[in-house]
Chain A
Amino acid sequence: MSVLAFIILGSIIRQVNLLMLLSGLMIAPFFFNWRISMKMLEQVIGVRRIPRLVFAGSPFTVGWRLKNYRNRIPSWGLRVVDRIGRADAKYMDQVTVLVPPLAAASEAEASYQCLLAKRGVYHLGPAQISSAFPVGLIRSKIKIREVESLYVAPAIGRLHRSWNQMTQSLSRGEAKKQRQHRSEIGDFYALRPWVTGDNPRQVHWRSSARHGELMVRQNEQQQDRRLVFILDLFESANADCDIEMALSLAATVFKKYASGSGQPAAGVFGNQQYVCEQLNSTALPALMKVLATIQPAAANGFQENWESWLQIPGPRRSMVVISTRSQKEAFANGDMSSFRGKWIDLNREEITRYFQPPTIEPGEFMKQIAKRSERDA
């Protein structure tokens, strides 16, 4: 701008015609750039698309779908500047996303990969769609003021084999403990043709010989007891446990069992209480939303809810409680004998037997994402 001002002033003061022409040729691009860039944004609608479920430490994609509602004029040089940051943070990070050329009456998708370190509530927006097409002298912008909240669940870790053994034994009961080393689960139900992925041990060789193709045994699903996972976040002065690890374990467990077929129940007790009668993929987001923001509390409602748990009709239950206190402490005023299941006290080293906490190496992670992004481009 200063160069332009210098040239215009110089041309008028010194009456140099070529400089005047040059001034015109410089002012004109500014004017036309402004008009065209405004035009590029007319009738262009942008919508942010965020995943339903986001875990700390796991990358996710924030997509922007832009639609050009004009029938004749394309939109070029569009850029989306999005903002993302913790709800309680003072500053938000800014992400610039380039939108592919948007033909007339068409849609285009732009996205960025995001990795958030910690669970919690994050805000996305307000965002800005802008264009400086064609020469980048003036940028026109439209603001999308809506701010979306993104609940980021605790990071997902890895459950050890001992966890599986423990939960299997709980679900089947002690009497069937011997069978857990066998690959077959449940009673014989029928024979069916072999499909890829079937355990070769299940092959029924005699039937296979008779039918001329591999046949496998299909067993009845055995589920004697219903598992109930409870996270008990109790705040006490002498507690010396890692709350985030408890949350991470709970999130890992909930995620694992939500996609299974057993349909266990789940409950979370802290400064918020949430009970999920049937843990499945539909119920998981709401549960994770609670995990994203929950904090320990001295009166977390665990004992108050305990009795109601016992009253619920249905199959027998095996409880797995992940707690920041010992079982004795939890049932100091209640009947401990009613508890059947596993109490995992985070104050003891016991948790390491079952769970490996997440190890996030953002550097490597981002590098991989960037490489993939470059390759895709």
Chain B
Amino acid sequence: MSVERILPFLILATVALSGLLLGMGQGDFEPFFVAVLGVSASTILVDWLKWFRLPNWAANLLAILVAIVTVSNFYFTNDSVRHLLGVGKLLVYLQTILTFQRKSARVYWQVLVLSLLQIVVGAVFNLGFEGGVLFIIYMMIAGVTMMVLHLYQDRQLVKLQNESSIRLSRSSRKIQANAVWTISTKPALQRGVLRRMVAAFLIFASGALFFSVLLFYFLPRDNTSWAGPQEIPMQATGFDEKVSMDHSELILLSSKLQMNVRYWYPGDEQKIFRPSREPYLRGMALSNIEIDGNRTKWVAPPYQIYASDFRPLKMGISDRWVTQEIVLEPTDDPLLYTAMPPHFTNDGEFLTDYEWCWPLGALTRQRSAEKITLSHFRYRLQIPILSSGEFFSAYPYFARDGSVALTMEQDPGVYKWYTYLDRNRYPTLVQVAGEIGERVADGNHNSIARQMESYFRSGQFSYTLDYRDIDRDETLDTVEDFFANYRAGHCEYYASALALMLRSQGIPSRMVVGYRGGDINGFGGHLDVEAKHAHAWVEAYIRPEDCSDYLMQTGQANDTGAWLRLDPTPSLDTNDAVTGADEALDFAKSLWRDYVLGLQADTQSRIVSADQLNLSGALRVLDLDWWQNSLNRLREDLQEPNGWKRYAVPIFIITILVLGLVIYLRERSLRKNPKKRAEYGSLRGVRRGLARALHLVSPRLSDWVVRELGRSADDVPFYRQMLKSLEQAGFHKLPQQTHREFAESVARGEPKNEPLNRLGTLTKTITDSYYLVRFGNGKLDEQQTKTVEIALHDLQELLQQTANS
């Protein structure tokens, strides 16, 4: 295929990838479709069919118009994100307009530059791991495109030079004194050269990638200077989470990653803490009930939140605590998730402004620390744990006015707020709650709350996400209907019902939304928290007198009471089977996020510091103890259920590398072995490919295939027999020889250079018959068969005599 034909396809691939990356960055795939359709249409209409072509002036005019329209939109908004989106689209439109012009090397270069600028815009929006992989593929394809474009440019240069020379010579009817006309010959691109060039390019690209990675990690970064990340103003929006009980369809579990969570013991990041029970990553509390027809909604307080409602976190006080690091996927929501209760960590790097918003019962971040790129957000907190290796199930209550220590009952407004309930809407629910309350003789709120929680787990209720077959009573409130009738639902129904039951018994309560658990990633040692792990549960206020000694002693409650976590939802294993590949992918994603997208000045200095680069680590391999410890650790890991999965990817990579090495060595040995090459050369097409491929695995198997397939290539028995006899006598048919040429060479006595006329005559006779069978009517008549048999017999006899003599 010529350079001129390949180039449009490469340009199309480049443009499609840059459009896709821009679309991924912006979350809008319009640029991708415009780019692909535009370039495809232009290739067909302008280059192949030659129906239509934009003159330069028209293309320029269109480009100016598009630019004016885009820039004019900038005046209607000050949002720099929207500006960038506009720039991205402008680039795609300009690129599309360009492609409708007559193609030249210049036009192709401009298309490539615009495509690169799209990548730049896409990169500003931070691409995820998939985007990163596409980004590398884009760079490779763009590189190959540039290489082919470079060849095309050279050829175009010569073509234009020749055309210009012809044009000038045609206009010069009268010979001018200084006239010199030249025509350069264009060398044809030999078969296979382009393939070799691409192979060479891949080596070049690997070098370039290595170089760029080094550059990336050594390029100066300074987060504190004026040149730091661009900030966008804080907006106290995004607290509109609400839960509405009106589902009537199948709720699908989404595997969209929300965050990564990692715990470790203080002082050693390598010492991973794995909680004995799934952690509850608390988001925010929904304390208000709204009634909409027959639906109950749980919402955050709708009124204005004041600055005084935000409280800074305290430093950790517990003697047992772990460091929690959470990396949130890009979001513009200031809500932070955490196990309870969160404390500041003394890690200076992460000592930023996280505050507790009292009315919302939520941890929030200041948006000023966020990049325009809506990048991943990483934060560390200090979380106390119990001696059993669990997180707290309750945490101390503190009043809205932080300066005074009040219980909730001493704060009537708050108490009323958290106990508000329209009892008439939920008759069955209130009745059952009353019955449970009566069963607890001392009226201990803690006991009542626990019993109510167990009521839902007693087997009378079931978990479901499929509401399609549920027959609802439209006259009842959805929560009452759930509780009294169908008794199947998901966490929001259970949490809602329990919170209402608690309130009916005068126990302040609120619904809490967040995430429970996550998939443990064996490679990174972190939890991958996905959308499917979203959960709702209840927090009940327990008076100090109802708090058990255990709660008090462990710091889960204090003199002002405690918020007790209650999870009434019957368990349902929503986790998909996590494979080693999934884990590897997740781990790769976290590496991309941590060491590419999220690389900051401090992390960079840590990575490239002398400590990291010293040789002591490498010298460990000489230490026998190190080997023994490593083997012990490996044995322990393998004994754990699914422990082998941690080693799946390294084993896979090592296997691939070893296989690659074996294949390379075999291929090299094949290239250096002319006899083998000749054998494979005797096969054609797919057969040859198969034989070569098998050679990489097993040369013996390949030899067998060559024999079998080779036989089928010349599947005429008498000819095969002749070849065999001649081969034994030292006459080998070369792959490039036709059958007749081989017969001629035998007649000439090659390769021995001895005249063997008789042998040549016999070979020619058999070869003629072979041609008749193979390319003629397919069979010989009686006379011909007899001739061949005699010739074959004579030939073998002659060869025998020659061998004896």
User: Interface on A for B, CB 8 Å cutoff?
Assistant: 3, 7, 10-29, 31-32, 36, 57, 74, 76-77, 79, 84-86, 89, 93, 95-101, 110-118, 122, 132-137, 360-363, 365-367, 369-370, 373-374, 376-377
Contact = CB atoms under 8 A, between A and B. Distances in A.
A98 B184 contact: yes
Nearest to B161: A96
Q: Which 8 A-B pairs have the closest CB atoms?
A: A24-B212, A136-B150, A363-B170, A18-B123, A28-B208, A362-B169, A24-B215, A100-B187
A75 B261 CA distance: 53
A3 B186 contact: no
Given A15-B227, A136-B149, A362-B175, 19 more contacts: A7-B120, A11-B219, A12-B219, A12-B227, A18-B123, A18-B596, A36-B204, A74-B196, A89-B178, A95-B161, A100-B187, A112-B182, A113-B183, A117-B175, A117-B180, A122-B180, A134-B201, A135-B201, A366-B166
Contacts of B158: 96-98
B230 A14 contact: yes
A42 B769 CA distance: 57
A370 B162 contact: yes
Contacts of A132: 150
B179 interface: yes
A16 B119 CA distance: 13
Interface string B126-169: 11000000010001000100110111011101100110011001
Interface in B175-223: 175-190, 193, 196-197, 200-201, 204, 207-209, 211-216, 219-223
B595 to A, nearest CB: 9
A19 to B, nearest CB: 5
Given A12-B219, A114-B180, A134 B147 contact: yes
B596 A21 contact: yes
A363 B168 CA distance: 8
**Chain A CB within 10 Å — which of B139, B162, B213, B230 has the most?**
B162
A85 to B, nearest CB: 6
A326 to B, nearest CB: 29
Given A15-B223, A136-B153, A373 B178 contact: no
A20 B216 contact: yes
Contacts of B585: none
Interface string B397-426: 000000000000000000000000000000
B599 interface: yes
Interface of B: 113, 116-117, 119-120, 123-124, 126-127, 135, 139, 143, 146-147, 149-151, 153-155, 157-158, 161-162, 165-166, 169-173, 175-190, 193, 196-197, 200-201, 204, 207-209, 211-216, 219-223, 227-230, 371, 373, 596-599
Dominant SS among interface residues on chain B: helix
B124 A76 contact: no
B150 A134 contact: yes
Nearest to B171: A363
Nearest to A2: B113
B161 A29 contact: no
Contacts of A113: 182-185
Contacts of A117: 172, 175-180
Contacts of B176: 117
B183 A366 contact: yes
A111 B169 contact: no
A117 B175 CA distance: 6
A98 B154 contact: yes
Contacts of A115: 169, 180-182
A79 B154 contact: yes
B339 to A, nearest CB: 29
A86 B596 contact: no
**Chain A CB within 10 Å — which of B158, B175, B176, B189 has the most?**
B175
A27 B597 CA distance: 19
B215 A370 contact: no
A374 B219 contact: no
B190 A27 contact: no
Nearest to A7: B120
B123 A362 contact: no
Nearest to B601: A15
Contact of A99 (B187, B371, B596): B187
A101 B190 contact: yes
B215 A28 contact: yes
Given A20-B216, A28-B209, A135-B143, A377 B185 contact: yes
B150 A133 contact: yes
**Chain B CB within 10 Å — which of A7, A11, A25, A98 has the most?**
A25
Nearest to A364: B170
A85 B161 contact: no
A111 B167 CA distance: 20
A354 B574 CA distance: 106
A230 B158 CA distance: 44
B229 A15 contact: yes
B373 to A, nearest CB: 6
**Chain B CB within 10 Å — which of A15, A18, A84, A100 has the most?**
A18
Contacts of A377: 185-188
A133 B127 CA distance: 31
Given A24-B216, A29-B143, A15 B228 contact: yes
